[in-house]
Amino acid sequence: MTKLTSIFVKSPFKKMREHMLKVIECVTLLPGFFEALHKGDQDQIIAVRGKVYEAEHAADAIKNEMRDNLPRSIFMPMNRRDLLDILDLQDSIADTAQDIVTVITNRNMMPPGELQEKIIQYLTVAQEACLMVGDISQDFDILIETGFGQKEAERILNMIEKLSEKESVVDTTGLEISRRLFDVEKQMNPIDVIFWYNVFDLIGDLADYAEKVGNRLRLLLAHS
């Protein structure tokens, strides 16, 4: 009886949705962090950093709970390994958001004034990619719980394609801001220059991980 009931467990997809909500919370806090950074408002910088840490820790707690409690034998339209892989990719978005605020605050970095507007633009398109995959993930979880309807599957595939296009915009914006930094780097502390390139890479990683989540979901739809 124990073995029988263990495979009819509560659906894990509600927890997947809760995890993604915390991941998105991490990302949506970043514009406020950079706004405080531009103003030099140290109290607000520390406050927003704390909120990012709290959201990332909450995402970790959900991830660990799922890993610890997800049975190896379970009736689902996707296997356990796929579910955990997608969970890890989602979590990488939250980890990256935390890395961004950690690198900047640990070195007390200030954004170059000439790049402030471009940084916000870059962050905005990266955040848009994350919001898109958040919507895709929520819809996908509901889809697999209720059955793979063809019309709904096609709609999600279309959303994934738009996410891929958005990630390309992020890549282009990242190249542009790196060129801008190259133009002004002689006026900056050389070590800060290295770390700003790192921060720009991390912002790009937000969209990269979002696209990877979308691609994994695309593969699952293709095999459904």
Q: CA–CA separation, 219 vs 210, rounded Å?
A: 15
Residue of 129, 134, 137, 118 lying closest to 179 (CA atoms): 118
pLDDT confidence of residue 8: 37
**Domain extent for 136:** 10-222
Calculate ∠ Cα 145-160-82, nearest 5°.
Answer: 50
Say how many C-beta atoms besides its own lie within 10 A of residue 94's C-beta.
28
* Residue 134 domain-assigned (yes or no): yes
Distances (CA, A) of 29 to 32, 56, 97, 114, 126: 6, 11, 9, 23, 13
Tens digit of each residue's pLDDT, the chain (224 residues): 333 334 334 567 788 899 999 999 999 999 999 999 989 999 999 999 999 999 999 999 999 998 887 766 555 556 778 889 999 999 999 999 999 999 999 999 988 888 888 999 999 999 999 999 999 998 887 777 666 667 888 889 999 999 999 999 999 999 999 999 999 988 888 999 999 999 999 999 999 999 999 999 998 887 66
Residue 138 lies in a domain: yes
Residue 1, domain member (yes or no): no
What is the rounded distance in angstroms from the CA atom of residue 210 to the CA atom of residue 120?
A: 19
* Domains in the chain, number: 1
CATH of the domain at 136: 1.20.58.220
Specify if 101 maps to a domain: yes
